Amino acid sequence: MAKSKTNDGYQRGVYGALLKLMHFIAAVQFSYGLYYDFVYVHFPPELKRPGGEFGGKLKFLTIWDAILQAVYFTICLLNDFIGTNEVAPKRMPLIRKVKDYMLAAFAFPVALNVGVTFWTLMAIDRELVFPKALDAVFPGWLNHVMHTNIVIFMVLEICTSFRQYPSRKAGLTGLGIFMASYLVWLHIVHHFGGIWVYPVLEVLNLPQRIIFFAVSLIFCVGLYLLGEFFNNLIWTKELKQLRTAAGSGASKKIK
């Protein structure tokens, strides 16, 4: 009975209600941020670079990540109602499996990559990533939704929702496919649009760009490992409980 109560504690009572509220706020926030960006944010002709029309706003990793966060937190909210947040449920719902894998392979490392990279480049030279002229058309609150809140909500999520990370091979494979897809997309935009999506790439020669991309991918892998370490540190007790439950189940099958 005690184990059941421990499991139920993650989805019932005040804790469960607050978790649902956080997921709802995150899903609505990122969805509305995307809607506002696509519908109301229009760059005047003088701020557009020749060829910049190709790919539209979907050429930015920030938009890819915002879509990812909106989808992820919507899945979290659905899981709160039709799935489960228990540590060791008798049967793991598919939506919970998708939710847990998405955070590990995509949502956490990509969000931190976007947030940390953006604010680091802003501190070095904002003209390389977000020219000051854009302040007139891109509101500050939207900038924080896209580049600050993604990190805040990911940290909150990993601290408040239990999950078991997938194997490193499975997790890093998913992350590698995602980042490789965006890297290919960057070069497609450059080929057909004639510009690099981010001005910082314009000032780098070919060897420097190769190093930049390699470092970016290595950084993503590091963020994946950070998320795994952070998750295992926070949920040490629950992971032991899960292994115990799995061991008990295996013993019963043998008997």
Dump pLDDT digits (tens) for 75-88. 999 999 999 999 88
For the chain, domain boundaries: 11-253
**What percent of the chain lies above the pLDDT cut of 90?**
69
For 53-107, where are the alpha helices, taking DSSP H only?
A: 61-82, 94-102
Dump pLDDT digits (tens) for 189-210. 999 998 898 888 888 999 999 9
The 3-state secondary structure of 173-240 reads HHHHHHHHHHHHHHHHHHHHHCCCCCHHHHCCCHHHHHHHHHHHHHHHHHHHHHHHHHHHHHCHHHHH
DSSP annotation of 83 reads: S
pTM value is 0.90
Confidence of residue 251 (pLDDT cuts 50, 70, 90): low
Amino acid at 44: P
Confidence of residue 11 (pLDDT cuts 50, 70, 90): low
- Contact yes or no for 162/87 (Cβ under 8 A): yes
Residue 9 has pLDDT above 90, yes or no: no
Confidence at residue 8, expressed as pLDDT on a 0 to 100 scale? 53
Rg of the chain over Cα atoms, rounded to whole angstroms, equals 21
